[in-house]
Amino acid sequence: MPPPSVSLHLHLLLLLAAAFASPTPALSKSTLESCSSSTACPALLSYTLYADLKLAELAALFAADPLAILAANSIDFAVPDPADRILPAGLPLRVPVPCACSDGIRKVTSVRYVSRPGDTLASIAASVYGGLTTPDWIRDSNGILDADADAAVDAGTRLFVPLHCACFGGVDSGVPAVYLTHVVAAGETVPAIAKRYRTTANDLMSVNDMATADVAAGDIIVVPLTACASSFPSYTSDVGMTVANGTYAITANRCVQCSCGPGNLDLFCVPAPLADSTCSSMQCSNSSMMLGNFTLMMTSAGCSVTSCSYGGYVNGTILTTLTTSLKPQCPGPHQFPHLMPPPTSSFFETYLGPSPTPMPSEGGVGPQMAGMAPISSPPVNSGPPPSHRHVGDVLALLALCLVANLLW
């Protein structure tokens, strides 16, 4: 549970007004976080593709970076032309968004939608944005008066689309967390949602200030995901970066990638696959070490670990810090969260077929990065992770990827 100072929850019956005005469906509940700080914080939206969409189109819907979407879903972002990939309808994804504070409430304020022929406020809210907003909220946010949720919106109308998000100070029960907005599906229960996101029903109820475990389709709740926190100074543009366990984030103008887990919850950053000569130096000063490199030295007191880590992004400059710490034992090579190949429409149909390939149990599939000291473990690669391919195992991995996605 987030600390009380940042967890003023309000349960609002968002559709209350509409219930009197027009024959809208049953009232939905949503968890809102009140706020006063003007700084945005990182949040995730749980979103299921309503149609086959190019990654670039999906990214445009949410004003998000296509690579950041892949990274947040542990999907390989080093593939050629990722933004042109077509993602299949029905694919569940996590979309990383800045969660702003506006009118005293946390919400996504960066999303604009240009309506297409046949759109209605109801279809935009429920279908295009998967229930992460409501027709009334869109209407109120755009100063549209007495428009029927089911009336056609003029094609080409540019709408501000507010979406639910929360941060609760980036902690849950004292542990770093990133909050994912989830729209309850028909038949879904609180224990099932808790299981899907590896949390507990009690925690979900407490975070969402629920007196009972009753939820209905269309309710919006927030789910805390265990994460790695950053400690970048406040003048950095990526201050407050928080990466959910098992996933990646892209930062510093696509020059740096950071990951969290699976072995520990220390944020680990290395040069991104797209990093090129336009990126500022990623070498720690007074050292030959690059971002992500580390050296190990056995001393009588234990293992002295010196690492070159990422310290945030300021005005085009990548900050690095060289730190030395003493550990009882030398850590092995760094393990990265497993990366999946991008799913595509045809793959998805294959998966929906009679019997999906069983999940291979590959614990440390991702490539590993060694420090600079000799280590006694087997040979490891030291390139950045997302260039790794498993050519012979594409179908199995595919199933793994989709199963993993569906299990969230």
Ligand X SMILES: *[C@@H]1O[C@H](CO)[C@@H](O)[C@H](O)[C@H]1NC(C)=O
Structure tokens at 331: 């850590």
**Binding segment for ligand X among 22-30, 162-170, 210-218, 263-271 (CB under 6 A)?**
263-271
Residues 361-400 that bind ligand X (CB under 6 A): 369-370, 372, 382, 384
Cα→Cα distances 287→30, 191, 307, 308, Å: 51, 50, 10, 9
- Identity of the residue, 90 or 273, whose beta carbon is nearer to ligand X in the bound complex: 273
- Cα dihedral sign for 369, 374, 378, 379? positive
Q: How far is the CB of 370 from ligand X (least distance, A)?
A: 5
Q: Which residue of 246, 333, 343, 367 would you call a contact of ligand X, by CB under 6 A?
A: 246
Q: How far is the CB of 50 from ligand X (least distance, A)?
A: 28
Cα 49 from Cα 94, distance rounded (Å)? 11
Cα 259 from Cα 315, distance rounded (Å)? 23
- Identity of the residue, 144 or 265, whose beta carbon is nearer to ligand X in the bound complex: 265
Q: Which residue of 261, 273, 333, 386 would you call a contact of ligand X, by CB under 6 A?
A: 261
Q: How far is the CB of 229 from ligand X (least distance, A)?
A: 13
Per-residue interface string for the shown chain with ligand X, residues 305-344, x marking contact by CB under 6 A: ---------xx-----------------------------
**Binding segment for ligand X among 65-73, 124-132, 260-268, 348-356 (CB under 6 A)?**
260-268
Residues 265-304 that bind ligand X (CB under 6 A): 265, 270-271, 285-286, 290, 292-293
- Identity of the residue, 164 or 182, whose beta carbon is nearer to ligand X in the bound complex: 182
**Binding segment for ligand X among 40-48, 76-84, 119-127, 264-272 (CB under 6 A)?**
264-272
Cα→Cα distances 10→34, 166, 201, 369, Å: 7, 12, 19, 45
Phi, psi of 315 (to 5 degrees): 50, 45
Binding to ligand X by residue 226, rule CB under 6 A? yes
Per the CB < 8 A criterion, the answer to whether 137 and 113 are in contact is: no
- Identity of the residue, 249 or 369, whose beta carbon is nearer to ligand X in the bound complex: 369
Cα 325 from Cα 121, distance rounded (Å)? 55
Cα–Cα–Cα angle for 367, 356, 78, rounded to 5 degrees: 30
Q: How far is the CB of 369 from ligand X (least distance, A)?
A: 6
Q: How many CB atoms lie within 10 A of CB 161?
A: 23
Q: How far is the CB of 9 from ligand X (least distance, A)?
A: 24
Cα→Cα distances 71→95, 108, 270, Å: 10, 20, 14
Per the CB < 8 A criterion, the answer to whether 314 and 333 are in contact is: no
Q: How far is the CB of 86 from ligand X (least distance, A)?
A: 27
- Identity of the residue, 292 or 341, whose beta carbon is nearer to ligand X in the bound complex: 292
Phi, psi of 183 (to 5 degrees): -95, 120
Q: How far is the CB of 235 from ligand X (least distance, A)?
A: 4
Cα 59 from Cα 96, distance rounded (Å)? 10
- Identity of the residue, 31 or 245, whose beta carbon is nearer to ligand X in the bound complex: 245
Q: Which residue of 262, 302, 331, 332 would you call a contact of ligand X, by CB under 6 A?
A: 262
Q: How far is the CB of 228 from ligand X (least distance, A)?
A: 10
**β-strand partners of 93:** 47
**Residue 285: Cβ-neighbour burial (10 angstroms; 0-12, 13-18, 19+):** exposed
- Identity of the residue, 30 or 74, whose beta carbon is nearer to ligand X in the bound complex: 74
Cα 198 from Cα 218, distance rounded (Å)? 21
Beta strands at 171-172 and 256-259: parallel, antiparallel or unpaired: unpaired
Q: How far is the CB of 203 from ligand X (least distance, A)?
A: 12
Site residue total, ligand X (CB under 6 A): 21
- Identity of the residue, 32 or 369, whose beta carbon is nearer to ligand X in the bound complex: 369
Structure tokens at 102: 């506006």
Per the CB < 8 A criterion, the answer to whether 219 and 205 are in contact is: no
- Identity of the residue, 160 or 235, whose beta carbon is nearer to ligand X in the bound complex: 235
Q: How far is the CB of 177 from ligand X (least distance, A)?
A: 10
Residue with tokens 């696959």: 273
Q: Given the rule CB under 6 A, which residues bind ligand X?
A: 226, 235, 245-246, 261-262, 265, 270-271, 285-286, 290, 292-293, 314-315, 369-370, 372, 382, 384
